[in-house]
Amino acid sequence: MSIIDIINNPVAFVGDLLKSVLGGFLPSWATTLILMILVVSVILGFLVFTMLFMTWMERKVVGRIQDRLGPNRVGPLGLLQPIADAIKLLTKEDITPVGADRVVYNLAPIVVVIPALMVFAVIPFGRGMIATDLNIGFLYIVAISSTSTIAILMAGWGSNNKYSLLGGMRAVAQFVSYEIPMVLAAVGVILLTGSLSMGVIVDAQASLPFILLQPIGFLIFLISGVSEVNRSPFDIPEAESEIVAGYHIEYSGLKFAMYFLAEFISAFAISAIATTLFLGGWQGPLLPPWAWFLIKTYILVFVMMWLRGTLPRLRVDQLMGLAWKVLVPLALVNIMVTGLVNSFTRTQGWWGIGWSGSLLTALTFLVANFLMAALFVWLYSSRRPAMAGGASAQRA
């Protein structure tokens, strides 16, 4: 194994080393099990580190956007701030409010973390750096990540607080609504790939990333993804100015931290999934694959923080209107257009004839997406005389 291979996939190198060492005195099933536990622990450690780094990054980025410095007291550039926060939250008194449903109240912060972590079982971090490349990878992600809604409703319900309950109900309505455009936007990619496996989806983007074929699909996925992980401007369930903090209002200490762990890890997960589906995953020249994956994912994470620093929070009716009246019809039309253009480009034989074919395919898709966008802008334009859609209907 050359040094390049080790840099490209350090996990496989360490794994092979351990396998040869452990295989000497342990039965093979025990070696496999220990390696699996190690892989999961490495991913878990990486995620906790990511979460700590993202809290620091968020405060720095939003601070800079708001013309502040952000944390700069604890450690160089405030880098140790997350550690200080973690110690503070760990040693903070935990308060269970009177009248709370104790079982549900205490179970919710545990349940909310589980789906956020489990999504990463099928995310390809680099070439061969995937815990398990399930053939139903994306369906697994959709199935697992949607269960976090239950945990948030549990928190809202169990706290015995009106604000919490309102936040929980809003969260369910919002997550349920935005899940539809999110999964519909991904259908375009699955249609082009012909597989639900995350590894195959990345391999299919070797010549050109799907963002060039599915720009509108990418936008729909990103918008509904930001909403799914409950980040500003879609943070209606925890709107500070209306319902104080929504479903986690009564939580303190490490239970509160669990919600933030889940929220940041989910934000990272959505960025990672969008990277895998649309930005070519770990594909890229020169740098090792895992570096490309991290760069692309962190660009999307930065975009999320940028959105938070730029846009004001939506109203509830605007939020639901955006999901059902704009994103769902757009995603449905996107599926139809993708199906048609895909058939067209394939019958023309443009797939798999080098970069000129890729260029023609990408151009066709771009033109189709542009026409689709133009149609929707025209349909929803408020200058048009009253129609069922758009701004005029929302005012009615």
Partner 1 sequence: MLSDYTIIGVFAIVAILFPIAGLLTAFVVRPHKPNPIKRSTYECGLETIGETWVQFKVQYYIYALVFVIFDIETIFLYPWAVVYNRLGLFALVEMFIFLAILVAGLIYAWRKGDLRWV
Cα–Cα distance between 30 and 222 in angstroms, integer? 41
* Beta carbon nearer to partner 1, 26 or 393: 393
Tokens of 80: 């140790």
* Beta carbon nearer to partner 1, 20 or 132: 132
* Beta carbon nearer to partner 1, 286 or 396: 396
Residue whose C-alpha is closest to residue 221's, from 156, 278, 293? 278
**How many other C-beta atoms can be found within 10 angstroms of the C-beta atom of residue 36?**
12
Q: Give yes or no for a contact between 192 and 213, defined as CB atoms under 8 angstroms apart.
A: yes
* Beta carbon nearer to partner 1, 204 or 304: 204
Q: Which amino acid is at 392?
A: S
Residue whose C-alpha is closest to residue 246's, from 152, 145, 107? 152
Nearest distance, CB of residue 318 and partner 1, angstroms: 9
- Please, is 371 exposed, middle or buried when counting C-beta atoms within 10 Å of its C-beta (0-12, 13-18, 19+)? exposed
* Beta carbon nearer to partner 1, 281 or 321: 321
Task: Rounding to the nearest 10 degrees, give the CA dihedral for residues 141, 146, 151, 156.
Answer: 150
Nearest distance, CB of residue 371 and partner 1, angstroms: 18
* Beta carbon nearer to partner 1, 238 or 304: 238
* Beta carbon nearer to partner 1, 21 or 95: 95
Nearest distance, CB of residue 94 and partner 1, angstroms: 6
3-state secondary structure of 24: coil
Nearest distance, CB of residue 78 and partner 1, angstroms: 24
Nearest distance, CB of residue 65 and partner 1, angstroms: 30
Scored b (16 or more CB within 10 A) or e, 322-351 reads bbebbbbbbbeebbebbeebbeebeeeebe
Nearest distance, CB of residue 21 and partner 1, angstroms: 20
Cα–Cα distance between 40 and 37 in angstroms, integer? 5
Nearest distance, CB of residue 386 and partner 1, angstroms: 13
Q: Give yes or no for a contact between 192 and 204, defined as CB atoms under 8 angstroms apart.
A: yes
